[in-house]
A and B are shown apart, each in its own frame.
Chain A
Amino acid sequence: MGRVLHLAGKVGAVFTDSCRTAGAVFLLLGDTLRSMVQYRLRWDQIFEQMYFIGIRSQVVVLTTGAFTGAVFAAQVWFQFKRFGMESAIGPTVSIAMCRELGPVLCCLLLAGRVGAAMAAELSSMKITEQVDALRALGVYPTEYLIVPRFLALVISAPILTGLALVTGIGCGYFVAVKIFGVDGAYYWDNTIKFTDSKDVFIALIKSFIFAIIISAIACHKGMNCPPGTAGVGKTTTEAVVNASLCLLIVNFFLTVLLNALLYSN
Chain B
Amino acid sequence: MKRVYGMAIRMVLASLALMFATGAGADVFVQCPGDTDGDGVIDDFTDPEYLAHPNAVCMSITGGDGFINMADTTVTGGARGRQLYMFGFADVTGVPPLDVIDVGTTAAEFPAPSIVVNEGEELYLTLTNVGMAYRPDLDDPHTVHWHGYADAAPVFDGLPDVSISVHMGGSLTYYYQVRGPGTYMYHCHVEATEHMQMGMLGQLYVKAAQDQLADGTNLNGFIHHDGYQYAYNDGDGSTYYDVDFPIQMSSMDPEFHDASEATQPLPFALMNDTYAMLNGRGYPESINTAELANTENGVVSQQQNALVEANAGEKVLLRISNLSITEYFTLMSPQIPMRVVGVGASQLRGTGGADLSYKTNSVNVGGGQSFDAILDTDDVAPGTYFLYTTNLNFLSNNTEERGGIMTEIVIHP
**Bound together:** no
